[in-house]
Structure 1
Amino acid sequence: MLANKVLFLDGEAIVIDKPAGLPVDPPRDGSISLENHLGGLTFGFKRWPQAVHRLDRDTSGCLLLSRNPKAHAKLQQAFEQGLVQKRYLAVLEGVPEGEEGVIDLPLIKVSSAEAGWRMTGDATGKASRTAWRVLAVKDGRAFVEFRPETGRTHQIRVHALEGLGAPVAGDPIYGNGECETLLHAAELIVPRAGKEPITAEAPLPERFMKAGFGA
């Protein structure tokens, strides 16, 4: 299934266009996850590839996999050092004030027995910055490009809600969850010492077109 969704491939890495609805980590209920597809992504190697970072279950787009332990450590380091460039596209349930800017909102994890856990803005949280730019507005919704400078859990989803005042359309935690989640990891650039960078672009999914927003 995922072998035809490869965006980049060499001896160190694979980038796939992860479908929305596919979790990276195996769910507790034992349902299908990325792990179930790794055997079909070996491309001549005996070793299965391994995810270097995470995308939320309902987020589609560029997901980086390493093909050996040495590459995995090197690629993970690029993420930890903030060297990776990421571009996301989202449709928001609302229209932000202004056309572009940077959201600087530290994030912290909170939880309750009733609602479970979620991330929220808090001055005592971990530093989180996201650049944003409105690409189009239609029927009270905004099509927005996000470029996260940090890689916190749920960063774009919380920054959209708390930083711009408009949740990602269809977000099951921070929005109304009434449609498919319209968040897509559109581009990934990972620098590598002594080698060409890993570059990948994932085409805009059909669910964005159905919502009235095209490339």
Structure 2
Amino acid sequence: MPLSNVVILHQDAALLVINKPTLLLSVPGRAEDNRDCLVTRLQENGYPEARIVHRLDWETSGIIVLARDADSHRELSRQFHDRETEKAYTALCWGQPELDSGSIDLPLRYDPPTKPRHVVDFDQGKHALTYWKVLERHAEHCRVELTPITGRSHQLRVHMLSIGHPLLGDGLYAHAQALAAYPRLCLHASMLSLTHPQTGERMRFECPAPF
């Protein structure tokens, strides 16, 4: 597959920083017809050494970093594991939060009966923490900045749902009005800050949301 609408924001000997489009897997799926993904496209178009470090959901767009050698992959993976990276997402959520900012500290787990959904579970869920801030208020929705401290699957989507403000266009978690309000999931990884695995330089990448 060609790179198509995959945009390279930065590249050097150690890493690639990509603006991943919506409706593209980060890594291959289990089914044979789910082989098309970001890492495969890069490997087939001039970057055979590309290695995934972290993932974005299929529907989520925005900044994702890949390593170009084993040592860089190990170091970047460690930074994500030890929460030394900083991430921010831009989203559109349904309704009007009473406050302008806040935090959501609710444990999450995968829910096999409703796969691939995740749910809040105080007994078996894993710790998950998200900070949110309203950037703009509109008639029926808000533009918000979401900052995940942990990196659980579907964390931002389930956390915003849990406080009554599902993301627009979210086919898994939004109610009918929020789902119909936008033709795609309104979640975009808009900022990533990390330490370069070779030089030690602190780097910050930004990419505005397309919605």
Query: RMSD across aligned C-alpha pairs, in angstroms?
Result: 1.8
Match of 1:19 in 2: 21
How many Å apart are 1:192 and its aligned residue? 4.2
Alpha-carbon separation, structure 1, partners of 2:144 and 2:168 = 11
Match of 2:208 in 1: 203
Alpha-carbon separation, structure 2, partners of 1:13 and 1:117 = 30
Aligned partners of 1:2 and 1:40 also within 8 Å = no
Partner amino acid, structure 2, of 1:101: G
The worse-fitting range, judged by mean Cα deviation, of 72-81 and 88-97 is: 88-97
Match of 1:173 in 2: 172
How many Å apart are 1:139 and its aligned residue? 1.9
Match of 1:158 in 2: 158
Match of 1:108 in 2: 109
Alignment of 1:181-200 (within 5 A): 181-192=185-196, 195-200=200-205
Alpha-carbon separation, structure 2, partners of 1:19 and 1:117 = 20
CA deviations over 1:146-198 (Å, ceiling 9, x no partner): 01111111110011101x21111011111144321110000000124752123
How many Å apart are 1:29 and its aligned residue? 4.6
Alpha-carbon separation, structure 2, partners of 1:173 and 1:151 = 18
Q: Percent identity?
A: 35
SS state at 1:117 partner: coil
Partner amino acid, structure 2, of 1:23: L
Alpha-carbon separation, structure 1, partners of 2:207 and 2:130 = 20
Aligned partners of 1:24 and 1:35 also within 8 Å = yes
SS state at 1:147 partner: strand
How many Å apart are 1:97 and its aligned residue? 2.1
**Gap regions ≥5 residues in structure 1:** 209-215
Partner amino acid, structure 2, of 1:201: E
How many Å apart are 1:2 and its aligned residue? 5.8
Aligned partners of 2:96 and 2:142 also within 8 Å = yes
Partner amino acid, structure 1, of 2:62: G
Alpha-carbon separation, structure 2, partners of 1:3 and 1:134 = 29
Match of 1:140 in 2: 140
Match of 2:12 in 1: 10
SS state at 1:158 partner: helix
How many Å apart are 1:25 and its aligned residue? 2.0
Matched, 1:40 2:45: yes
Alpha-carbon separation, structure 1, partners of 2:45 and 2:17 = 14
Aligned partners of 1:61 and 1:186 also within 8 Å = yes
Match of 1:213 in 2: none
Alpha-carbon separation, structure 2, partners of 1:18 and 1:129 = 24
TM-score for the superposition, normalised by structure 1 = 0.86
**Residues 30, 103 of structure 1: alpha-carbon distance in 2 compared, 3 angstrom cutoff:** same
User: How many residues are aligned here?
Assistant: 199
SS state at 2:111 partner: strand
Alpha-carbon separation, structure 2, partners of 1:135 and 1:3 = 27
Aligned partners of 1:6 and 1:16 also within 8 Å = yes
How many Å apart are 1:200 and its aligned residue? 1.3
